[in-house]
Structure 1
């Protein structure tokens, strides 16, 4: 399906509430996007690494054009960025200061947003949340692509709740944070998906019951739990692992963000 480039979250390409994920065969851009997203979210392309388009084209057996289009979508999510005359690089991990600031504003906005959603959400939106939760459960224990889909689903869930609040400024603020996929880069190789599913279910149950106080409490608990998961992987002895994909990555840039413990392979020609 077509996608407006301005849409910040691509889970099912920010479908309308009653739409389903595109059926196969997928477009080449979607296939390239899905593969790149999984490599970025699971850090097979390490933070700050050069993204070799020619190497990816050979690996995926497609032309460079859909890969470039997919990278443009990822750039809109701040997972990649383009340097003129150099090419694309993977975004650096969030700094501890970034994480503090993001959770500070999320705790200000999202619990109140959930309370409003409990009062104002349409039945259609509530059923979409239930369907989304089921789809995320199916992806929770899958491969790298499934993990990336789960991360997209988390973004989609928070987007739906924000939209259901009936306040477009809240929805725009949540979308503009571009936070969910970045958080899941820290949580790869943990059991965060199963924990998040349980927390989401408490939230959805409160929304279905139209219980504003319970929805607010469930969202706040979910955010605190998410922050605790982040803290656990940011300790000195438990930093995120950086698996290396030789065909697509280069040594991470050290110009921005924290130095990483593992280096990737040499840049392929781009």
Structure 2
């Protein structure tokens, strides 16, 4: 897999800012303001916004500029279903084809997520994304990884509205259970554990949560 570029890193910084509540869904994203807030130059920010637009995370509206994706319950459900299907495919591919060394990397990503329990929420979210990304990397399927990466950034915007560090221990246990089944080469158990792990996001009322977050911010 090719190394991550400065544009990719800038895109992740924008996602991190969204996860911290700096940007909420529907907010206008101004290139110069983002560069100043994140402490990076405008060129990678400009390219990162274009990348995020291609991935559906940022929407360009004529005469209104670029805005972070809107969130509705139907769109959230669609994103969650696609993410679940992609990761289930990745888990099956890993069980069938991934080397023991590749699965050991997934185990290490699970360990690092557990170690993030005492870190700030942004670090925990990054570690969670890194675990799920490690599963996709372990497949060796670049197309699957690229597709997942686009969906994952949309998921990150959704998850930032509801993620709580209080659940880190439970999620870490679920990560370990998924890896246990993958290393045992038990595809059915691994997929079942993955689906259990991802299921809670399916029933969140994101519209209500977003309304509350905007009210707290004073919108």
**1:36-185 correspondence runs (5 A):** 36-84=14-62, 86-93=64-71, 95-104=72-81, 110-111=87-88, 114-143=91-120, 145-160=122-137, 163=139, 174=148, 177-178=151-152, 179-185=154-160
**How many Å apart are 1:190 and its aligned residue?**
5.0
Aligned length: 217
Partner residue, 2:179 = 204
For residue 29 of structure 2, give the secondary structure of its aligned residue in structure 1. coil
Alpha-carbon separation, structure 2, partners of 1:192 and 1:201: 14
Q: 1:140 to 1:157 in 2, by over 3 A?
A: farther
Calculate the aligned-residue CA RMSD, in Å: 3.6
Structure 1 residues not aligned, in runs of 5+: 1-14, 243-259, 266-270
Partner residue, 1:221 = 196
**Bigger helix share:** 2
The normalised TM-score by structure 1 is 0.62
Alpha-carbon separation, structure 2, partners of 1:44 and 1:115: 37
Q: Which has the higher contact order (CA 8 A, sep 6+)?
A: 1
**C-alpha contact (below 8 Å) 2:59/2:67 kept by paired residues:** yes
Partner residue, 2:169 = 194
Divergent runs of 4+, >6 A = 168-173
**C-alpha contact (below 8 Å) 2:117/2:165 kept by paired residues:** no
1:261 aligns with 2:204: no
The normalised TM-score by structure 2 is 0.74
**How many Å apart are 1:102 and its aligned residue?**
4.1
For residue 67 of structure 2, give the secondary structure of its aligned residue in structure 1. strand
For residue 205 of structure 1, give the secondary structure of its aligned residue in structure 2. helix
Structure 2 residues not aligned, in runs of 5+: none
Bigger Rg, which one = 1
